[in-house]
Structure 1
Amino acid sequence: MNEVEVWEDLSNISAEPPVMRALCEKCERPSIVCWCSALPSERLQPKSRIILLQHPAEEKRCLRTAPMLQLGLAENKCLIYKGKKFPLPKHENLENILLEPNTVLLYPSKTAVDIRQLDKNDDAYNIVLIDGTWPQAKAIYASSPILSKIKQVKLLTSTTSNYIIRTQPTEGCLSTLETAAEALSQLENNSIYTDLLIQPLHVLCKFQLDNGAVTHQSKEFLIKSNMYPKLIGKRLSKLLKSSNEYVM
C-alpha cells in the first residue's frame, strides 16, 4: 500500500465517536444484560451491615456480584472499600468501623467461630468480607494487621453456589453475593436474604447460558471425577481439605 492509499484510508474513517450500547443507570451494565429487574422490589434493611474489602482486580470483572449486593440492600447497608491493604487514609471511617466491638471478619481461620454462635441480642454487626480470589484474600489479610485483631467467624453450610458460569475451587465455595446473603440469613435467622438477594445472579447466569456459556463444575468435583486437566498444586490441595467453610 502506497502513501496515497494510506491517506485515502485514513480520510474514510468517521470523525464521529462509535455508537455505544445503552447502559442501565443502576447497575451500569448494557441494558440488554441488565439484571435490575430481579432486584428486591424494596431494598432490604437488615440490622447488620456488610463491609466489603475489595481487591482492585474485582472491579474489572464484568460478571462480579458485589453490585448486586449493594443494590439489593438499603443504602449504607453495604459499604465497599477498595485496595490491597486496609485501612489506608483514603478509606474514610474504615478504621473506626474495624475497631468497633460489634465488628466481625468472615474468614476461615483456625480461631473462627460459627457465625450462628454470635450473641443475637446485639443490635447489629459489621460483617467484614474480603472480596477477591482466595490468593488475593490471603494477601489482603496478611498485609492488613488490623484484620487479625477482629473476631473471626465462618459459615457452616451445605449450600452449593448458584454462580454456575464460574469455576469455584471447592463445592462449598460461594460468590461474594451468596456469602453475604447466607451470613445475614444465619445471623438474623431470616431466609429473605438468601431468597431475594441472589435472584439477579440467577438472571445473569441464565442470560450467559442462553448465549453460549456453559455450566462450570468446581475444581473439587473435577478432581474427584478424574476430569481435572492439570496437576494439583499444594495451595489447591490444602484448600480442598477445608470443606463446608466460607472461602472467597
Structure 2
Amino acid sequence: MLTDASMEPIVHRERCYRCFRPAQTCYCRDIIPVRTNARFIFLLHPREALHQRTGTGRLTHLSLPGSRLFVGLDFAMNAELMDLVFNDHFQTMLLYPGSSVQTAPTINAAATQRDERPYLFIVLDATWHLSRKLLRLNPWLEQIPRVGLAGVYRSSFRIKRQPGFGYLATIEAVCFLLREFEQEKLIRLQTDPAKLLLVFEKMVSVQESFIQGRGSPYRAPTNPPE
C-alpha cells in the first residue's frame, strides 16, 4: 500500500555542469579569467572530483583559459595527456614538494641562457594522502622536474583543516606560483593572479555560512603563531 510519504516526488537539486556544484552555490559568474602564457594541466583524483563543495582544482582550471583537466588514477594510457606533457614545445614542471624542488628564483639564477618556451605546469588536485597515491600510480611523473614556492604563505582555507602551516589549497598554490614566476620574468601575465583568490574567498565564505547556519561543531583551523 502506498502512503502519502511514498508518493511524494523526489526532489533533485539543480546542478551546474560546468563547475559541478549545486546551482545555488555555483561560482561560474564570479570567475575572472586569469590570462597567462603559462599552461596548466590538472590531474584530479576521482575522490576529489566527487567533493566539489570544497575542491578548488576545477575552480582553478575554469579560471585559467587554455588549461586542461583530467580525472583518473593511472594516466599513462591517456595519449592526449602524454602528448601534452612530453612535448618539446613546453618547459614542463610538476608543482609538488620534493628534495630537488626548484623555485622561480633558483631557476632564474641557474639559467645561463633564456629559454623562451612557455611553461607547462602539472598540478595534482587531491588530498596530500591521495596525491602521493597518484604519484605511485604514475611513475612517469618522476621524469618531470619539480617546482615549488619560494615564499611561505598562510592558507585562507578556513573551512578545511590543513596538515600543517604552509599547506595551501590548489587555487592558492597556483596563484602564488604565477606571482613568483612573473616577478622573475619567467612568464607573462595579462591578469593579476590575485583574481583567483576572489572567487576562492567567496566559496569559503559561502561554505562557512552554511556550516554555521546548521549549527555544525565547526571550528576554524588554527595556525601556529608567527
Taking structure 1 as the reference length, the TM-score comes to: 0.73
Q: Report the count of equivalent residues.
A: 207
From the CA coordinates, give the structure whose radius of gyration is larger. 1
What is the aligned partner in structure 1 of residue 221 from structure 2? 217
Cα drift, residue 92 of structure 1: 4.0
The AA in structure 2 aligned to 1:13 is S
What is the aligned partner in structure 1 of residue 165 from structure 2? 171
- Output aligned runs, 1:1-248, within 5 Å: 7-9=1-3, 13-14=6-7, 17-24=9-16, 26-40=18-32, 43-61=33-51, 62-74=53-65, 76=66, 78-88=67-77, 91-101=78-88, 102-118=91-107, 121-189=115-183, 192-213=191-212, 214=218, 216-217=220-221, 221=223
Segment of structure 1 superposing worse, 127-136 or 22-31: 22-31
The AA in structure 1 aligned to 2:199 is P
Cα drift, residue 60 of structure 1: 0.9
Aligned partners of 1:137, 1:27: CA distance in 2, in Å?
21
SS of match in other structure, 1:84: coil
What is the aligned partner in structure 1 of residue 111 from structure 2? none
CA gap of 1:60–1:188, structure 2 versus 1, over 3 A, is same
Cα drift, residue 46 of structure 1: 0.8
- RMSD of equivalent CA atoms: 2.5
Deviations 1:224-246 (A, max 9, x none): 69xxxxxxxxxxxxxxxxxxxxx
Cα drift, residue 66 of structure 1: 1.6
Structure 1 runs not aligned, ≥5 long: 1-6, 226-248
Task: Please say if residues 44 and 126 of structure 2, whose CA atoms lie closer than 8 Å, have aligned partners that are also in contact.
Answer: yes
Cα drift, residue 116 of structure 1: 3.6
Cα drift, residue 125 of structure 1: 0.8
CA gap of 1:203–1:188, structure 2 versus 1, over 3 A, is same
Cα drift, residue 82 of structure 1: 1.8
Cα drift, residue 17 of structure 1: 4.4
CA gap of 1:115–1:138, structure 2 versus 1, over 3 A, is farther
Seq. identity, %: 23
Aligned partners of 1:51, 1:12: CA distance in 2, in Å?
47
Aligned partners of 1:105, 1:137: CA distance in 2, in Å?
12
Cα drift, residue 25 of structure 1: 5.4
Structure 2 runs not aligned, ≥5 long: 109-113, 184-188, 213-217
Task: Please say if residues 49 and 125 of structure 1, whose CA atoms lie closer than 8 Å, have aligned partners that are also in contact.
Answer: yes
SS of match in other structure, 1:155: coil
